[in-house]
Amino acid sequence: MMDYGLLTIGVALLLISYLVGVKKQTWLLAGFNEKMIKDKSLLGTITGLLFFLPLGVLGIVNSLFDYAHEGTIFVAVMLVLLTVVYLLINRKLLK
């Protein structure tokens, strides 16, 4: 059975991915010090296309298909993506 709530969240994440990753709307990202970031365009690309895009696609896939441990897998993928994005931002973008 399709989970419409998760589908809505997945589509919203894809929209945020587009706005941040492609349109470079970094004001949508909360919790970072703008003065510490060297390249806001690269920040948008990294967070939009490496975090929000795969998470949105996974949300949509999880809403369409039921499989064992889908919640655990979703959280694990989210934590891995968050860690990768955090490391990339700290190594490449902080002044």
Q: CA-CA-CA-CA torsion for 87, 76, 6, 12, nearest 10 degrees?
A: 10
| pLDDT of amino acid 32 | 78
* pTM of the predicted model as reported, rounded to 2 decimal places: 0.89
3 state DSSP class of 4: helix
Tell me the per-residue pLDDT of 23-76, one tens digit each, with 9 for 90 and over.
Answer: 999 999 988 777 888 999 999 999 999 999 999 999 999 999 999 999 999 999
Q: Which two tokens stand for residue 59?
A: 């949300």
